């Protein structure tokens, strides 16, 4: 199993129709077209109603996948960090083929990041300086992830190193300069006019939702993370009232809550700065998120994994918001049958809990 350690501000791109349109290749630069004309053609922003995702007037149930290196692929990178381009196939062609395959299998949502994996293709090269060629790759993909806890490029540690005042990883959530740098990046992305279709990102219904940060970790500082999420969710909504906003957290329960027994074994999860129940209750967070990586978390017990999904679904229901299992995966240890047992159990529980919405993690 390979997990992307560099997931930034994440976004969910939606809809098989849109995937197929994107897979067909970049359309000609529009003449007189706009987001309003697209909406008139029947596209809708995904919304929340009575604790459910809604597309137009219908409930929206979906499956999907996580995709890394989409931005650099869209930009035409000649080499990729975690994969090898087929002979005589360019990165954009491979991305189109991948999206065509996904659409043909009924996958409706792709989650990726608003920056590159490889630092040589960084979108933001220094504070406030952006690589237009990579931004055009992002235009091509139309799915984003804002920042990440992991890695170097566009990550928490990148902002800490740029801030001039933050000293360590945990300072990211409270340091004023880090907050200003993050907001600057968010504003640049949300107000970006797509070079291919002429739409402002904040007005493009192809985008389903924004994740604020993939898997935030802050040792024993859940209050600081919650304060940061509250601030940044409100900031995103002030610039983009059209799209859903979520966090992108793993869904750990913090100390002092009755649900800590639901965490992975070993007691480490309560110290990671996440508080699933309180995070879900933040006003500008539209839906709850959870991940499930039993091997990485050193808890491969199927009972834990089922209870993890059940408890998170129950909490989201009590709060009145939908929940998304947006990452999961299992190593191939003991053969495919062992991994398939995990997948069957997890997806059955997702179905039983009426989550009806999940995204596969990166798998090898």
Model confidence pLDDT, tens digit, residues 135-150 = 999 898 874 445 666 6
- The torsion defined by the Cα of 354, 356, 357 and 362, in degrees rounded to 10, comes to 100
36, burial (CB in 10 Å: exposed 0-12, middle 13-18, buried 19+): exposed
Residue 180 has pLDDT above 70, yes or no: yes
Confidence of residue 228 (pLDDT cuts 50, 70, 90): very high
Q: Which residues pair with 209 in a beta bridge?
A: 12, 244
β-strand pairing of 46-49 with 52-55: antiparallel
Token pair belonging to 313: 């679904």
**Residue 63 CB coordination number (10 Å):** 17
Confidence of residue 151 (pLDDT cuts 50, 70, 90): low
Residue of 69, 203, 250, 327 with catalytic role: 327
Please state the separation of Cα 15 from the chain's center in Å. 16
> What are 110-139's pLDDT values in tens digits?
898 888 888 889 999 999 999 999 999 989
State yes or no: is 215 an active-site residue. Answer: yes
User: 115 and 8 in contact (C-beta within 8 Å)?
Assistant: yes
> What are 339-363's pLDDT values in tens digits?
999 999 998 999 888 765 566 654 4
**Residue 29 CB coordination number (10 Å):** 11
Which of the residue ranges 83-92, 163-172, 195-204 would you say has the lowest mean pLDDT?
A: 83-92
The domains located in the chain, with CATH, are: 9-360 (3.20.20.80)
3-state helix, strand, coil in the chain (%, to 5): 40, 15, 45
Mean pLDDT over all residues of the chain? Answer: 84
Residue of 215, 250, 326, 349 with catalytic role: 215
Token pair belonging to 66: 């996580």
> What are 256-291's pLDDT values in tens digits?
888 999 999 999 999 999 999 999 999 999 999 999
Residue 251 has pLDDT above 90, yes or no: yes
State yes or no: is 349 an active-site residue. Answer: no
The residue behind tokens 């069957």 is 344
Confidence at residue 166, expressed as pLDDT on a 0 to 100 scale: 95
């Amino acid at each position: 199993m390979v997990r992307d350690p560099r997931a930034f501000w994440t976004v969910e791109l939606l809809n098989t129709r849109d995937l197929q349109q994107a897979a067909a290749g970049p359309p000609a630069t529009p003449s007189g077209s706009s987001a309003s004309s697209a909406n008139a053609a029947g596209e809708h922003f995904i919304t929340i109603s009575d604790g459910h995702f809604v597309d137009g007037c219908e409930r929206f149930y979906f499956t999907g996948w996580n995709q890394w290196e989409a931005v650099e692929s869209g930009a035409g990178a000649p080499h990729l960090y975690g994969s090898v381009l087929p002979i005589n196939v360019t990165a954009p062609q491979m991305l189109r083929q991948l999206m065509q395959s996904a659409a043909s299998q009924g996958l409706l949502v792709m989650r990726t990041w608003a920056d590159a994996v490889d630092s040589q293709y960084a979108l933001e090269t220094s504070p406030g300086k952006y690589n237009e060629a990579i931004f055009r790759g992002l235009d091509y993909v139309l799915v984003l992830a804002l920042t990440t806890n992991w890695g170097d490029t566009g990550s928490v540690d990148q902002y800490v190193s740029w801030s001039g005042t933050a000293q360590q990883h945990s300072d990211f959530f409270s340091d004023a300069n880090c907050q200003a740098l993050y907001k600057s990046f968010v504003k640049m992305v949300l107000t970006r006019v797509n070079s291919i279709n002429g739409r402002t990102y904040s007005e493009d219904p192809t985008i389903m939702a924004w994740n604020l940060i993939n898997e935030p970790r802050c040792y024993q500082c859940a209050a600081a993370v919650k304060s940061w999420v509250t601030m940044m969710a409100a900031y995103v909504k002030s610039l983009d009232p059209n799209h859903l906003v979520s966090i992108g957290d793993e869904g750990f329960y913090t100390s002092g809550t009755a649900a800590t027994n639901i965490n992975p074994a070993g007691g480490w999860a309560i110290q990671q700065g996440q508080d699933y129940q309180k995070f879900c209750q933040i006003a500008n967070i539209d839906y709850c998120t959870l991940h499930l990586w039993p091997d990485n978390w050193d808890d491969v017990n199927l009972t834990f994994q089922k209870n993890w999904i059940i408890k998170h679904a129950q909490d989201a229901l009590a709060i009145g918001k939908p929940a998304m299992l947006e990452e999961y995966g299992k190593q191939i240890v003991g053969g495919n049958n062992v991994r398939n047992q995990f997948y069957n159990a997890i997806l059955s529980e997702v179905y039983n809990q009426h989550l009806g919405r999940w995204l596969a993690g990166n798998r090898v």
